[in-house]
Chain A
Amino acid sequence: MPSGCSPHYCLRMRLLTHSDVDRLAFGVIMLGSGGGGGEEDVHAVTTMLRQAMRTGGPVRVLDAGEADPEALGVRVGLIGAPTVMIEKLPSGDEAAEALRAVQSPGDVPVSAVIGWEIGGCNGLFPLVLAAQLGLPYVDVDGMGRAFPRIDQTTYDAAGLPTTPLAITEPSGNRALLDSTGIEKLARTVMVDFGGWAMMVAKPLRLGDAVKVGVTGSLARALELGTVWAPPPSDRHWASSQEEPAPPQVVRTPEERAAASGGFVVTRGKVIEVWRESTGGFPRGTVAVQRLDADDSYVRLEMQGEYLVALADGEPLVTTPDLICCLDAETGRAIAAERLSYGTVIDVVAFPAPSQWVRPRMLGRVDPRAFGYDLDYVPFGLS
């Protein structure tokens, strides 16, 4: 993608309004591939975004091609456990505080916010910051999905600096890291900060970011959300006395997948869930009994995200391609850490951003990067 923008995902400058938020939230959850925070976690950030837009107005979203290459863009993201964040909620000042920490008074001020990790909660935090600061959001991020490590970005792969890196927490504590191998250090600080923290890296030239980043990912999230977001819950204690919504034209998962560039791996019931957490990194495996074939299973290997889907010992979908599990009944996306026994799910796969599927890039994000003794299987090949 020479311009960093496929016609499909391309957005002209537009305003992101309240009415877009729900679709966008569903889209970033899907791009999380099971990680980066589930629906429960994203809801908190969605609410923050609505709050920020209530005071700061709609967020202007610029297509990557529209950005001024010389201007600076700031990226922001949460590090740590979204599950902790929804309990110890943000003060709301963390990101702005962190930005102040990486910018000296004399520096050129940033003129846009860019994405770091479009998948999960971190797909929305930059928009919150953009709304708070009244800056536009340039539609580019460093992952095009969710990944657990700070260095798993196309920015980092291209040699763009991540340091100095500021980490802040709701009580106002902040740390400024400027060393190599910040991953471990950042996590140590995060744990000490109470299980989650906000981080802001040294601002990037928008030209650089757009050149190496995954462009159009916000548009992609909106697209996925539009196709996949289920109608509001029809549980009757929720529906009060209003008339229940008339039945919608229900599209099958296959139809939705076809409409959004993916495919349905299987529909099945979760019959085994095994998880462990070593050194704070979760790892797990799930067996899904296929409902479309007798006595046949799909295995999902997961860490923070769903990383590999195998059918009868044959890898079908591998990271960096995306795997989403949707509750077959409600249509809601289920995060890797929430997938539970007995749930009937649709396992759906989407291709990774093309930036990752290149020989020198794959090593950072393929199954081996996550400790699996498997090679990347090109999307849709098996």
Chain B
Amino acid sequence: MISDGDSLTVRDLLGVGALDGQVLAGARGLDTEVLDVRLAADIGAVEACAAGDLVILTGHAPYLVEVALRRAYSADVRAVVLVRPTSGSYQPPSAATLSFANRLGVPLVQTQAADPLLVADGLRTAVRRPDVSAARLLNAVTARMRRGKADPRTVLPILDEELGVVTALVSADGTAIEGTTPLGLPESVLASSVPAVVEVADGTAVAVPVESDRTGHVRLWLVSHLRSGGKRWVDTVMQISQVASWALGKWVAEERLDVERRARSRGSLLAELLACGDDVPPQLVQQAVLAGWRLDGWHTGVYAVPQTPDHRMALDPSRTERLRASLARRGLHGQVVEGAEGWSFWLTNDAEPPQSQHREITMRLQQAVASCALVAGVGRPHPGARGIARSLGEAREAAAMAGPSKVVHIDELGVRRLLSMAAETPALVDQATRLLDPLTGVEDGQLLRTLAVYLDEESVTSAAAARLGVHRNTVSQRISRAEQLLGVSLLNPDERLAVHLACRAARATEE
């Protein structure tokens, strides 16, 4: 059997639409390459065929078809095409004929045309000048895309119909936003950033990037599934896919603009994302991708709220922009989504980030949020679309505990939580009241507040002074006085812990 990697197979010809027909039998032979096309008006013409030919038979009498199949098989002809006239009598091949074709493995294809010559002409061009037919096909695809909206719902069916492939618009996490992802598509294809041709379960897949972010990460892929194909055909599909991908890329950009114009929708989008748990529906993925969000990879969520309660009512888009800019300045690129009470933000890594990353992030965040008079919580990194929700949930929890330290990581929350739980124990509260009794009412409560802030700030005088808005000497004096009144030394770890707990408990009862 002649193998010419550059030739189209029978299946390709059906796919290209050069042969608009129905395979009646002999499907086993569909993947053989066609080198030439012959129109046979009689058996003699069938006998003159050479290996690699495809034969178009103008007659359709059962005996004639069977003789043609037999000769085709002996001469290594690649397919026998029957032309059903648009009018007049036609006898479709009978079960015996089909069974014979199946036994021989010679594809028997039936097409409908007014004139077999036209069929032959189209096929001949496709076979002898595949470039011409590829160009024709490209023309056909672009002409159809021009006529319609360039959205996936329009573009994908055009590709499916014109190329005879199955296409899908796939996000980097493998979700098919439109169409069906071919089975067995390797993840590595979607993780890369260049077009790829890979073998999949039932044929070949051609993947072309549609849209990527500034890092070169591809967020959206156009994947075409060919049931099989020679190299020439795969190339054709690749070229046409690329043209289609540009159109789809343009559509993504337009949609994103639209989404940004409707900033509030981002909030609800996030809310939906958070609400849907582990199963993220494809249309949500599509919206997220259109919003420019990256869903694949490892996400680290951040939740920021205003430092002081009186600012909480004042969330406005300008502050969102300020936060985004502030984060970007510190190398934190991610999505900032404003909510009713605060801002959600997440960073995405291609792979699971090392433990050390969170210190790095916390540090940069501290600088960023401080400049915006915000405090924030940070979640652990989690993978995938649902990872965003999980990490943000943790961030929210952490943010609620953010006190003077401005940025709280969920992992730190364990200690703080222990502390706050202890502070709520009645026995402890009782004990604390008595312990702190000497300070009650002293200096209008100034002494007690200063003591609590000082201990919270890890006995750093300057930090306490900054939080309280007084001079650090004032803090030192007040601490000395409190030590005297209480009769304890804060240098003693046990006593410091006891006093700190008492302060917490007292604050808890106040609240």
Contact = CB atoms under 8 A, between A and B. Distances in A.
A313 B103 CA distance: 12
Interface in A289-317: 289, 295, 297, 299, 301, 308, 310, 312-315
B325 interface: no
A287 B69 contact: no
B63 A310 contact: yes
A285 B100 contact: no
A274 interface: yes
Given A271-B96, A313-B71, A374-B43, A295 B103 contact: yes
A315 B99 CA distance: 18
A373 interface: yes
B67 A313 contact: yes
B355 interface: no
A274 B70 contact: no
B95 interface: yes
Contacts of B64: 373
Interface in B220-277: none
A374 B67 contact: yes
A272 interface: yes
Contacts of A297: 96, 99-100
A183 B70 CA distance: 37
B66 interface: yes
Interface string B74-99: 00000000000000000100111001
B103 to A, nearest CB: 6
Contact of A285 (B43, B61, B67, B71): B61
Nearest to B103: A295
Contacts of B94: 272, 274, 285, 287
B353 interface: no
A132 B67 CA distance: 50
Interface in A266-290: 271-272, 274, 285, 287, 289
B70 A312 contact: yes
Nearest to B73: A313
A341 interface: no
Given A274-B91, A374-B43, A301 B99 contact: no
Contacts of B96: 271-272, 287, 289, 297, 299
Interface string B463-481: 0000000000000000000
Interface string A36-57: 0000000000000000000000
Contact of A314 (B44, B70, B95, B99): B70
Interface in A224-244: none
Contact of A372 (B63, B66, B91, B103): B63
Contacts of A271: 95-96
Nearest to A272: B94
B487 interface: no
Contacts of B282: none
A373 B66 contact: no
A376 B61 CA distance: 18
Contacts of B63: 285, 299, 301, 308, 310, 372, 374
A314 B104 CA distance: 13
A100 B99 CA distance: 57
A350 to B, nearest CB: 21
Interface in A310-363: 310, 312-315
A295 B99 contact: yes
A315 B70 CA distance: 11
Contact of B100 (A308, A312, A315): A312
B42 interface: yes
Nearest to B44: A373
B59 interface: yes
Counting contact residues on chain A (CB < 8 A from B), the size range is: 10 to 19
Nearest to B99: A295
Interface in B421-469: none
Contacts of B42: 373
B62 interface: yes
B61 A315 contact: no
Contacts of A289: 96
A336 to B, nearest CB: 15
Contacts of B68: 313
Nearest to A375: B43
A315 B66 CA distance: 10
Interface string B29-69: 00000000000001110000000000000010111101111
Contacts of B103: 295, 312
A333 B112 CA distance: 41
A25 to B, nearest CB: 31
A371 to B, nearest CB: 9
Nearest to B72: A313
Given A299-B62, A373-B59, A373-B64, A313 B69 contact: yes
Contacts of A314: 67, 70
Contacts of A373: 42-44, 59, 64, 67
A295 B100 CA distance: 8
Contacts of B59: 373
A317 B33 CA distance: 35
Interface in A81-138: none
A321 to B, nearest CB: 16
A295 B63 CA distance: 17
A72 B68 CA distance: 50
A287 B95 CA distance: 9
B97 to A, nearest CB: 8
B89 to A, nearest CB: 8
B95 A313 contact: no
A224 to B, nearest CB: 27
A301 B62 CA distance: 9
Interface centre among A289, A297, A315 (most CB of B within 10 A): A297
Which of A271, A274, A299, A313 gathers most chain B CB within 10 Å? A313
Residue of B44, B61, B69, B91 with most chain A CB atoms under a 10 A cut-off: B61
Contacts of A285: 61-63, 94
Nearest to B59: A373
A266 to B, nearest CB: 13
B67 to A, nearest CB: 5
Contacts of B69: 313
Contacts of A310: 63, 66-67
Nearest to A285: B62
A272 B99 contact: no
Interface in B186-230: none
A297 B62 CA distance: 12
B88 to A, nearest CB: 12
15 contacts: A271-B95, A274-B91, A287-B62, A299-B66, A301-B61, A308-B63, A310-B67, A312-B100, A312-B103, A315-B67, A372-B61, A373-B43, A373-B44, A373-B64, A373-B67
Interface of B: 42-44, 59, 61-64, 66-71, 91, 94-96, 99-100, 103
Closest 9 CB pairs of A and B: A313-B70, A287-B96, A313-B66, A297-B96, A373-B43, A313-B67, A373-B42, A285-B62, A272-B94
